[in-house]
Amino acid sequence: MAEKGNFMIDLSVLYRNTQKYFDHALEPYGIGWGQLMFLFVIYENEGVTMQEVTRISEVDKGTTTKSMQKLLDQGYVVSRADEKDKRVKRLYTTEKSGEIMNTLYEFRSAYRTSVFDGIDGDGFEAMMAKTCENSRNIVLPSFHDLRIGGLQKVTLLDYPGKLAATVFTAGCSFKCPFCHNRDLVFVPEDYAFLDPDEIFAYLHKRKGILDGVCISGGEPLVQPDLLPFIEKIKQMGFLVKLDTNGYEPDRLKDVVHSGLVDYVAMDLKNCKEKYAVTCGMQASVFQLDRIEESVSFLLEGHVDYEFRTTVVKELHTREDLLAAASWIRGAKHYYLQQFHDSGTLIQEGYHGYDAQQMEALCETVRTIIPQTQLRGVKGENDVQCH
């Protein structure tokens, strides 16, 4: 099955293959791809200054200086003082350059013919020119924006006992292989984010109908502007539930201590020994202490909360769940969620336990946390173990 193109990778491949072609072609002349563009600019604009070369080529001054020095050292370019202002240095190509310029143009033409094989080269160049023009006018992104990946307008499942809407933020600190929405983790380049004002407009129309708003993800706590967003929701009179993976304990504490969150649901991925692999992270970089800090904080009772574990056959055994439950012994609420393959997993090949097996696992875990419940089994919301 053909994969969807990746804009960033395609640009990188085009650049690297272009560089490889010209580095090989220019090797006999003692220069490479890094100098070719500058040599063309000078040859076609004799007497140009270093500053003008930098402006035309749209590269940084350091890159221009380095490439120019090689052209000077190889004898392809000379620098001469301006006749009227000796402080200004002008660049000219030499006789040595003249001897190879036709060959360089032939290399460029041959590459253009090859790379445009099967496509409209003129049309492609026109699109590239427009793309470059657009890129010059791009407003650099603010890293303090809230990236909202989706909105579920009504749910009875996400906020226990409440009619709510769920806002999904994009971006996550984990790469759980069984995650049901890979686009909120590996955010596509063409992802259409929602404007926060769209969310507020919808909520304004649902005052008196909805009880609360769930903030889910992805991982909401990696969003720098999360608190102002929640604050505005609270000002509209809604309860707020936060879903988190617990990997941002300081941010979790800030949000809870702000008084803006009414309920926190933390995913307890697995027992400590298998936590990193369940999160899709290397054990060498995973910091379990951050999860432990969030668990301890919630167990202290600063806010109403629940822990929940999505149970996956390939990742969770009976012993794993007992170890996880022992870790959060004394928790007010603990839910075992039946895994379902959404078709948009980060990694294929994972399966859920059936209803009978989930009931048995729940009964076992209840020996440690008596109020453990099942969630999402047989299409029901919460099923009490018996």
Confirm whether 60 is domain-assigned. yes
Q: Are residues 161 and 28 in the same domain?
A: no
Q: Are residues 125 and 171 in the same domain?
A: no
> What band does 83 get if pLDDT is binned at 50, 70 and 90?
confident
Question: In CATH, what number is assigned to the domain containing residue 30?
Answer: 1.10.10.10
Q: Is the peptide bond before 121 cis (omega within 30 degrees of 0)?
A: no
Domain boundary among 101, 136, 171: 136
Confirm whether 143 is domain-assigned. no
> What band does 261 get if pLDDT is binned at 50, 70 and 90?
very high
- C-alpha 36/C-alpha 253 separation (Å) is 55
Confirm whether 378 is domain-assigned. yes
Q: Are residues 83 and 212 in the same domain?
A: no
Q: Mean pLDDT, to the nearest integer, of 113-133?
A: 91
Q: Are residues 209 and 289 in the same domain?
A: yes
Average pLDDT, the chain: 92
Helices (H), ranges, 192-285: 196-205, 226-235, 249-257, 275-278
Residues 6+ apart with CB under 8 A from 233: 200, 203, 213, 240
Distance of alpha carbon 369 from the chain centroid: 36
> What band does 6 get if pLDDT is binned at 50, 70 and 90?
confident
**Cα separation values, 360 from 354, 357, 383, Å:** 10, 5, 13
Q: Are residues 198 and 121 in the same domain?
A: no
User: What share of residues in the chain are helix, strand, coil (percent, to 5)?
Assistant: 45, 15, 40
Q: How, if at all, do strands 239-244 and 212-216 pair?
A: parallel
Q: Are residues 14 and 124 in the same domain?
A: yes
Confirm whether 142 is domain-assigned. no
Q: Which of 300, 323, 175 is nearest to 247 (CA)?
A: 175
Q: What is the pLDDT of residues 179-213, one digit of tens each?
A: 988 999 998 888 889 999 999 999 999 999 999 99
- C-alpha 161/C-alpha 293 separation (Å) is 28
Share of the chain above pLDDT 90, in %: 80
Q: Are residues 36 and 118 in the same domain?
A: yes
Q: What is the 3-state secondary structure (H, E, C) of 293-314?
A: HHHHHHHCCCCEEEEEEEECCC
> What band does 301 get if pLDDT is binned at 50, 70 and 90?
very high
Residues 6+ apart with CB under 8 A from 200: 232, 233, 236
Q: Are residues 114 and 162 in the same domain?
A: no
Q: Are residues 167 and 130 in the same domain?
A: no
Give the per-residue pLDDT at 61: 87
Confirm whether 2 is domain-assigned. no
pTM, two decimals, is 0.69
Q: Which of 177, 360, 362 is nearest to 279 (CA)?
A: 177
Domain boundary among 136, 162, 182: 136
> What band does 384 get if pLDDT is binned at 50, 70 and 90?
very low
Question: In CATH, what number is assigned to the domain containing residue 283?
Answer: 3.20.20.70
Q: How, if at all, do strands 164-169 and 148-155 pair?
A: antiparallel
Give the per-residue pLDDT at 143: 44
Give the per-residue pLDDT at 140: 57
* The pLDDT of residue 305 is above 80: yes
Domain boundary among 107, 136, 165: 136
Count Cβ neighbours within 10 Å for each residue of 103-125 and write b for 16 or more, e otherwise: ebeebeeeeeeeeeeeeeeeeee
Say how many domains are in the chain.
2
Give the per-residue pLDDT at 132: 87
Q: Mean pLDDT, to the nearest integer, of 358-383?
A: 86
Q: Residue 196: which domain range?
A: 148-384
**Cα separation values, 319 from 286, 311, 364, Å:** 22, 12, 10
Q: Which of 325, 261, 266, 262 is nearest to 294 (CA)?
A: 266
> What band does 136 get if pLDDT is binned at 50, 70 and 90?
confident
Confirm whether 1 is domain-assigned. no
Give the per-residue pLDDT at 141: 54
Beta bridge partners of 241: 214, 263
Confirm whether 178 is domain-assigned. yes
Q: What is the pLDDT of residues 212-243, one digit of tens each?
A: 999 999 999 999 899 999 999 999 999 999 99
Q: Mean pLDDT, to the nearest integer, of 253-276?
A: 97
> What band does 87 get if pLDDT is binned at 50, 70 and 90?
confident
Phi, psi of 51 (to 5 degrees): -65, -40
- C-alpha 100/C-alpha 284 separation (Å) is 53
Q: Are residues 198 and 323 in the same domain?
A: yes
Confirm whether 141 is domain-assigned. no
Q: Judging by beta carbons within 10 Å of its beta carbon (0-12, 13-18, 19+), is residue 74 exposed, middle or buried?
A: middle
* Strands ordered across the beta sheet of 164-169: 148-155, 164-169, 212-216, 239-244, 263-267, 304-311, 334-338, 373-375, 382-384
Q: Are residues 126 and 156 in the same domain?
A: no
> What band does 137 get if pLDDT is binned at 50, 70 and 90?
confident
Q: Are residues 193 and 300 in the same domain?
A: yes
Asked whether the beta carbons of 77 and 65 are under 8 A apart, the reply is no
Q: Mean pLDDT, to the nearest integer, of 308-335?
A: 97
* The pLDDT of residue 381 is above 50: no
Q: Mean pLDDT, to the nearest integer, of 131-139?
A: 82
Q: What is the pLDDT of residues 32-81, one digit of tens each?
A: 999 999 999 999 999 999 899 999 988 888 888 999 999 999 999 999 99
Q: What is the pLDDT of residues 271-295, one digit of tens each?
A: 999 999 999 999 999 999 999 999 9
